[in-house]
Amino acid sequence: MADSKIRAERPLSPHLQIYRPMLTMVLSIVHRITGAALYLGTILLAAWLISAATGRSGFEQTQWLFGSWIGRLVLLVYTWALLHHMLGGIKHLAWDMGYGFGAEAREATAKLTLAGSVGLTLVVWVVAYLVR
Amino acid sequence: MADSGRPTFETPLKRVRGLGSARSGTEHFWRQRMTAIAGIPLTIAFLVIVLATVGKSHAAVVATLSHPLVAILMMLFVVTGVVHMRIGMQVIIEDYVHEELPKIGLLALNTFFSVAVGLGCVYAILKLSFGA
């Protein structure tokens, strides 16, 4: 702090906002965000299971909450986050083993995880509306 | 290396192997991959179970969740999930929180939250299975 002049002249290591956003980079950030969202989402899972174990009236309250428009919206995002994190995770496992680092493979798997997660979310929700 | 002055064939590599400087080695890295792999079929199983209970009555949901195969898959999903998410959140905390006290506090909260959610869910599943 005493030498703030010197400090100001030091080059800073580049931060995220310096780079032009690229699909692979955005998906890397999304992978972390969906992971953190799923972390908080476990509260929904615990609420569902614990209320089911508590009894009928408690469970029906949870069902009412999950069935409200805001509940459905949260569950829709939760479904997508879960599927996106799963598909992104499969991609990361392939990278761990050294596959798919080429420019074309990178772009293709990025688009595939995105389209796959949106597509699978739609499949799950269409099935949910059909069977309920 | 040969700090004691005695001649030795030990190289610095010997120190790196095993636990390394963080005293935890590659344990977290490996466990994160193992729970990721296990999480793929378990996530699919979880979604199928949820779809089988959407919009059903409390009695029907309890009947489904108390089936041994469903209960075991649910517990595997929960335990795999909380182990995976605890490591993931630890990485996020260590990336963004650099001051020692807040970091230790958040790491502790992370463990408490993960254990509480995991135990809560497992207890609920067991209660649904064994009744009372």
pLDDT tens digits, residue range B30-44? 999 999 999 999 999
pLDDT in tens, A67-91: 999 999 999 999 999 999 999 999 9
| Per-residue pLDDT at B129 | 96
The dihedral sign for the CA sequence B25, A37, B61, B42: negative
> In the prediction, which pLDDT does A13 show?
72
* Max CA pair span of chain B: 76
Chain A positions with Cβ closer than 8 Å to B: 32, 35-36, 38-39, 42-43, 45-46, 49-50, 52-53, 55-56, 59-60, 79, 82-83, 86, 89-90, 92-93, 96, 124, 127-128, 131-132
Q: Which residues contact A117 (CB under 8 A, 6 or more apart)?
A: A80, A83, A84, A87, A88
Residue A114's contacts (CB-CB under 8 Å, 6 or more residues apart) are A23, A27, A84
**What six digits make up the tokens of A113?**
């995880």
B130 to chain A: closest CA residue:
A53
Partner residue opposite B92 with nearest CB, options A32, A53, A59: A32
CA–CA gap between residue B1 and residue A21 (Å, rounded): 46
* Residues in chain A closer than 8 A to B87 (CB atoms): none
Per residue in A109-122, pLDDT tens? 999 999 999 999 99
Q: Please give the torsion angle defined by the CA atoms of residues B35, B40, B44 and B49, in that order, rounded to the nearest 10 degrees.
A: -10
The token duo for A93 is 């496992």
Mapping DSSP onto H, E and C, the string for A40-109 reads HHHHHHHHHHHHHHHCHHHHHHHHHHHHCHHHHHHHHHHHHHHHHHHHHHHHHHHHHCCCCCCHHHHHHH
- For residue B63, which phi and psi values (nearest 5 degrees)? -60, -40
Q: Are B83 and B35 in contact (CB under 8 A)?
A: yes
Return the pLDDT at B1: 44
**Measured distance CA(A33)–CA(B89) in Å, rounded:** 11
Q: What pLDDT is recorded for position A95? A: 94
- CB of B128 within 8 A of CB of B62? yes
Give chain A positions within 8 Å (CB) of B55: 131-132
Q: What is the mean pLDDT of residues B49-76?
A: 97
Q: Which of B47, B54, B124 sits opposite A49 (nearest CB)?
A: B124
